[in-house]
A and B are shown apart, each in its own frame.
Chain A
Amino acid sequence: MKTPSGMPSSLAPSADHAVLRCEGLHRSLGQGEGQVHVLRGVSFAARRGEVYAMVGPSGCGKSTLLYLLGLLDVPDHGEIWIDGQLMPRDDDAARTAARGRHLGFVFQFHFLLLEFSALENVMLPMRKLGRWSLPEMQERAHALLTSVGLGGKTHRLGNQLSGGEQQRVAIARALANQPSILLADEPTGNLDVRNSAMVFDLLTGLARQNGQAIVVVTHNPELAARCDHTLPMRDGQFVT
């Protein structure tokens, strides 16, 4: 299933179904002369249980948009709703709480706290959320690591894992708190073909199972084709 995206807000899925929605996001980066208008009015909505692939040339603003959606950065203009709730711009505590409860994030480059084992890394978000007991957290972390194919390396420290393994631990960690939204910036960038497919299937499978909305940035057209929606981006805007 594939639909053209970059829909104007009037065509966006209705707010009741959209777990994540944004309207008219603008973001400039840099100072003075070097300032770049990176995002030029992005609107978009994501529904539970669906997978969205964000594609586009390097430097078009995919990561920048993902940071805004992940509440790691604040837009110059525009609004973001999570589960129908408008995210405040300057209430850091509310944004932090929303990150812990609703959002899972897989970064493009830096992944793990290297002094912690794979298991501890996956447990970090759960410890902060405080929803589960210690044995439950350990069990969950173990199950998540097994599902990304690292069941045998749970006690390796971050710096004893390969780049691809670190990336998979990061995916397991992003899923730890059962977020309603998972944002992943090239989660399979460091993986071989077989592992990319495996991790990708894992992500999409989970989205359908748990009713999570997933937004994935990828350069791999094959993987993008397997998603429910493709969002092609160029020069800071979604294009049709």
Chain B
Amino acid sequence: MSTNLRIALRFLTARRRAMVMSLACITLGVGLFVVTQATTTGFERFFIKTIVGTNGAIRIEDRIQETLRTMEAERGNDASGFVVEVKEGRKYIQGIQDPALLIEAVRRFANVAGTSEVLYGAAEIRSSFKNEAARVYGIQLEDHLQVSDLARQIVRGHLADFRQTPAGTLVGIKLAERLQLEVGDSFQLQAGGEVRRYRVSAIFETGIGEIDKDRVFLHLGEARSLLRRPTGASFIQVNVLDRDRATQDAAHMEAVLGHSASSWQERERTWLDVFRALRLSTSITVSVFTLIAGIAMYNTLALVVMEKTKDIAILRSMGYTRRDVTRIFLWQAAMVLAVGALLGCGLGAAVTYGVSLMKIRIRGIFTADHFIVAWSAWHYLSAVVISVVMVMAASLIPARRAARLEPGDVIRGTAQ
């Protein structure tokens, strides 16, 4: 053990109560930071998982047509004008005419993990009980399972039943509740003049209220007949390997394919911003504790310096340098910080676990019945880094002051 550290350890005991206060503040600061980060990112990640699992990482939709305008450029008196083409705007042509061709192109992107062609349209759903507006989604089940969490979102009934039944459907849970439909029940869908009878194979819950209240999945072929759209698709849902790269990929796809492509980050920007703001504001609020810890440590060390001026002068008279004195006081802060950070991480982990068991009912943007937490070493690391920066910065001031003391002045103050 270094001599400075040894001296620091003994000095620590001089102001035990004040040191314990600083320790408590650091522990609390680190612990609360971890808990707030764990819960906010927990909910954020769950939200992302929900939206990506439902609407996919990237959605490729309408064809883009750049509209060009010709313009005659003047060249002074010389009448030999020429024509330039100016980009005027974009026109979107609804839907995808040749989905197979587009899918083939999309699959060439390295990050793409799956594609599913989807045809949708409005319909009226009729049970023996009542009628509701619905949105019909025609899918090829195996493809769609590649680009969504549909398998996990089934809450009643079985996908196998849907797979085997041409007239089978998957119905959103809220829609099913409103129409009092159960698995095995039959109902009618009407679109245009067409009325067809279907069967509930399974009921799904995405957690997103908007979707659960009007979505009905059909086999693609059935949807084509019902909606009278024998070719084409409404959009292609794409799954990617690295979802953080979805935005770049979407931009790339849009440029290459000539179809609008939107990533989950763009589609859900509003909510993602809300989560980000929430995470930032809680971490700022909680950092106030760490700030208080820094102030407490500053106070404590200032007291110790005052109490130990004579000891500092004696050490200086023996050959201890100004830097040694600085280190003696920084070691004290570092030791309290180390213990506080360790206890804080422990507290954070314990409270995070406790919170994860707490019941909370959330419906609408996702479905949760208890607090959702995220476990990440980054939360602990950033909590520790913040406390280290704040506390050590605050400690530097009294430590420097101790180092600046002139042994002669101190001793004279005592001697006379």
Q: Are A96 and B316 in contact (CB under 8 A)?
A: yes
Given A72-B408, A108-B415, is A115 in contact with B11 using a C-beta cutoff of 8 Å?
yes
Chain B 296-328: CB-based contact to A (< 8 A → 1; otherwise 0): 000000000000001101111111111010000
Q: Are B314 and A107 in contact (CB under 8 A)?
A: yes
Chain B residues whose C-beta falls within 8 Å of the C-beta of A116 in the assembled complex = 10
Chain A 70-101: CB-based contact to B (< 8 A → 1; otherwise 0): 10111000000000000000001100110111
Task: Tell me if A17 is interfacial: C-beta within 8 Å of chain B.
Answer: no
**Most chain-B Cβ atoms within 10 A of its Cβ — which of A107, A116, A129?**
A107
Q: Are B317 and A124 in contact (CB under 8 A)?
A: no
Could you tell me the distance in whole angstroms from the C-beta of B326 to the nearest C-beta in chain A?
13
Given A67-B408, A113-B10, is A99 in contact with B414 using a C-beta cutoff of 8 Å?
no
Could you tell me the distance in whole angstroms from the C-beta of A54 to the nearest C-beta in chain B?
15
Task: Tell me if B155 is interfacial: C-beta within 8 Å of chain A.
Answer: no
Given A110-B310, A110-B414, A116-B10, is A128 in contact with B318 using a C-beta cutoff of 8 Å?
yes
Chain B contact residue count (CB 8 A cutoff): 28
Task: Tell me if B77 is interfacial: C-beta within 8 Å of chain A.
Answer: no
Q: Are A97 and B319 in contact (CB under 8 A)?
A: yes
Contact of A63 among B13, B314, B415 (CB under 8 A): B415
Could you tell me the distance in whole angstroms from the C-beta of A186 to the nearest C-beta in chain B?
10
Q: In the complex the two chains form, what is the Cα distance from A63 to B409 in whole Å?
A: 12
Q: Are B317 and A70 in contact (CB under 8 A)?
A: yes
Task: Tell me if A200 is interfacial: C-beta within 8 Å of chain B.
Answer: no
Q: Are A72 and B318 in contact (CB under 8 A)?
A: no
Q: In the complex the two chains form, what is the Cα distance from A70 to B3 in whole Å?
A: 23
Contact of B408 among A73, A96, A109 (CB under 8 A): A73
Q: Chain B at the A interface: mostly helix, strand, loop or mixed?
A: helix
Q: Are A67 and B411 in contact (CB under 8 A)?
A: yes
Q: Are A110 and B406 in contact (CB under 8 A)?
A: no
Q: Are B10 and A96 in contact (CB under 8 A)?
A: no
Task: Tell me if A125 is interfacial: C-beta within 8 Å of chain B.
Answer: yes
Q: In the complex the two chains form, what is the Cα distance from A64 to B409 in whole Å?
A: 10
Q: Are B415 and A99 in contact (CB under 8 A)?
A: no
Q: In the complex the two chains form, what is the Cα distance from A185 to B414 in whole Å?
A: 13
Task: Tell me if A127 is interfacial: C-beta within 8 Å of chain B.
Answer: yes
Q: Are B13 and A115 in contact (CB under 8 A)?
A: yes
Q: In the complex the two chains form, what is the Cα distance from A125 to B315 in whole Å?
A: 8
Q: In the complex the two chains form, what is the Cα distance from A129 to B322 in whole Å?
A: 15
Contact of A73 among B311, B320, B406 (CB under 8 A): B406
Could you tell me the distance in whole angstroms from the C-beta of A136 to the nearest C-beta in chain B?
15
Q: Are A92 and B14 in contact (CB under 8 A)?
A: no
Task: Tell me if A29 is interfacial: C-beta within 8 Å of chain B.
Answer: yes
Could you tell me the distance in whole angstroms from the C-beta of B2 to the nearest C-beta in chain A?
9
**Most chain-A Cβ atoms within 10 A of its Cβ — which of B7, B311, B316, B319?**
B319
Task: Tell me if A105 is interfacial: C-beta within 8 Å of chain B.
Answer: yes
User: Among residues 39 to 71 in chain A, which have CB atoms less than 8 Å away from a CB atom of chain B?
Assistant: 63-64, 67, 70
Given A70-B317, A73-B406, A110-B414, is A128 in contact with B3 using a C-beta cutoff of 8 Å?
yes
Q: In the complex the two chains form, what is the Cα distance from A97 to B43 in whole Å?
A: 60
Could you tell me the distance in whole angstroms from the C-beta of A95 to the nearest C-beta in chain B?
10
Q: In the complex the two chains form, what is the Cα distance from A70 to B314 in whole Å?
A: 12
User: Which residues of B approach A to under 8 Å, CB–CB?
Assistant: 3, 7, 10-11, 13-14, 310-311, 313-322, 324, 406-409, 411-412, 414-416
User: Which residues of A approach B to under 8 Å, CB–CB?
Assistant: 29, 63-64, 67, 70, 72-74, 92-93, 96-97, 99-101, 103, 105, 107-113, 115-116, 124-125, 127-129, 173, 177, 185
Question: Shortest 6 CB-CB distances between A and B: which pairs?
Answer: A100-B319, A73-B408, A115-B10, A125-B318, A127-B3, A72-B408
Task: Provide a sorted-by-A list of 30 A–B residue pairs whose CB atoms are within 8 angstroms.
Answer: A29-B412, A64-B412, A70-B317, A72-B313, A72-B316, A72-B407, A72-B408, A73-B406, A73-B408, A93-B321, A96-B322, A99-B316, A99-B319, A103-B317, A107-B314, A107-B317, A107-B411, A109-B414, A109-B415, A110-B313, A111-B314, A113-B10, A116-B10, A124-B3, A124-B315, A124-B318, A125-B318, A128-B318, A128-B319, A177-B319
